[in-house]
Amino acid sequence: MTLKKKILTGYGVVFALMGLVVVWAITNLVSLGKATESILSENYRSILAAENMVDALERQDSGMLLMLLGDAEKGITQFRENEAVFLEWLARAKDNITIAGEAELVEVIDADYGTYRKQFSILTDLRETGRVPLNPAYYQEMVYPLFARVREVCIGLRNLNEETMYAASIRAGNVAGRAIWSTALVAASAMIVALMFSLFLAERIVRPVRRFMEASRKISSGDYTVQVPVETGDELGRLAGEFNQMSLQLVRYNEMNIDQIISEKNKGEAILSSIEDGLVVFDTHLKVDGINPAARRLLELEFTESSTLQCMDILPDPQVCDLIRKTVETGVQPNVPDEQRIIIFPEGDGSRHYFFSITAIRGRDRNLSGIVLLLRDVTRLKEVERLKSEFVMAASHELRTPLTSLGMSVDLLMEHAAAGLAEKDRDLLQAAHEEVHRMQALVNDLLDLSKIEAGRIELEFESVPVSTLFEHVEAVFKSQMDMKNVSLRSEFTGDIPKIRADANKITWVLSNLISNALRYVSKGGHINIFAHRIGPHIHISVRDDGPGIPPEYQSRIFQKFVQVKGREAGGTGLGLAICKEIVRAHGGAIWVESPSGRGSTFTFTLPLVQ
Q: What is the CA radius of gyration of the chain?
A: 38
Closest CA to 246 of 215, 270, 272: 215
- Packing angle of the helix pair 235-254, 144-220 (nearest 10 deg): 50
198, 205 contact by CB (below 8 A): no
Compute the distance between CA of residue 544 and CA of residue 151 in angstroms, rounded to an integer: 50
Which class is domain 462-607? alpha beta
Compute the distance between CA of residue 21 and CA of residue 35 in angstroms, rounded to an integer: 21
CATH architecture under which domain 383-453 falls = Orthogonal Bundle (1.10)
Burial of 324 (0-12, 13-18, 19+ CB in 10 A): buried
Compute the distance between CA of residue 595 and CA of residue 599 in angstroms, rounded to an integer: 7
Burial of 252 (0-12, 13-18, 19+ CB in 10 A): exposed
355, 337 contact by CB (below 8 A): no
Closest CA to 579 of 568, 570, 591, 571: 591
The per-residue pLDDT for 334 is 74
Closest CA to 50 of 100, 90, 96: 90
Compute the distance between CA of residue 64 and CA of residue 518 in angstroms, rounded to an integer: 47
The per-residue pLDDT for 528 is 93
CATH superfamily, domain at 275-371: PAS domain (3.30.450.20)
For the chain, list residues with pLDDT below 70.
Answer: 1-8, 10-11, 14, 28-42, 127-136, 204, 224, 230-234, 236, 254-266, 268-270, 272-274, 302-307, 337-339, 363-365, 381-401, 403, 419, 434-435, 437-457, 561, 565-573
Question: DSSP labels for 330-367?
Answer: HSS-----GGG-EEEEEETTEEEEEEEEEEEEE-TTS-
The per-residue pLDDT for 602 is 94
What is the C-alpha end-to-end distance of the chain, expressed in Å? Answer: 54
Domains of the chain, by residue range, sit at 3-192, 275-371, 383-453, 462-607
The per-residue pLDDT for 274 is 66
Compute the distance between CA of residue 546 and CA of residue 592 in angstroms, rounded to an integer: 14
Adjacent-strand bridge partners of 544: 527, 600
Closest CA to 89 of 143, 39, 50: 50
Q: What count of other Cβ atoms lies within 10 Å of the Cβ of residue 543?
A: 20
The per-residue pLDDT for 132 is 45
Compute the distance between CA of residue 342 and CA of residue 378 in angstroms, rounded to an integer: 9
Query: For the segment 297-338, what is each residue's pLDDT rounded down to a tens digit?
Result: 777 776 655 567 888 888 877 888 888 888 888 877 777 766
Query: For the segment 370-429, what is each residue's pLDDT rounded down to a tens digit?
Result: 888 888 877 776 666 666 666 555 565 566 667 677 777 777 777 777 767 777 777 777
Q: Quick check: helix, strand or coil at residue 136?
A: helix
Question: Could you give the C-alpha distances from 568 to 110, 521, 564, 572, 600, in angstroms and in order?
Answer: 62, 12, 9, 12, 16
Question: DSSP labels for 220-284?
Answer: HTT-TT-------SSHHHHHHHHHHHHHHHHHHHHTS--HHHHHHHHHHHHHHHH-SSEEEEE-T
Provide the strand spans (E) within 475-580.
487-493, 499-501, 526-534, 537-544
The per-residue pLDDT for 292 is 81
Compute the distance between CA of residue 136 and CA of residue 121 in angstroms, rounded to an integer: 17
Is the entire prediction scored with pTM above 0.85?
no
Compute the distance between CA of residue 375 and CA of residue 352 in angstroms, rounded to an integer: 11
For the domain covering 3-192, report its CATH number: 1.20.120
Compute the distance between CA of residue 516 and CA of residue 567 in angstroms, rounded to an integer: 12
Length of the chain: 610
The per-residue pLDDT for 604 is 94
247, 224 contact by CB (below 8 A): yes
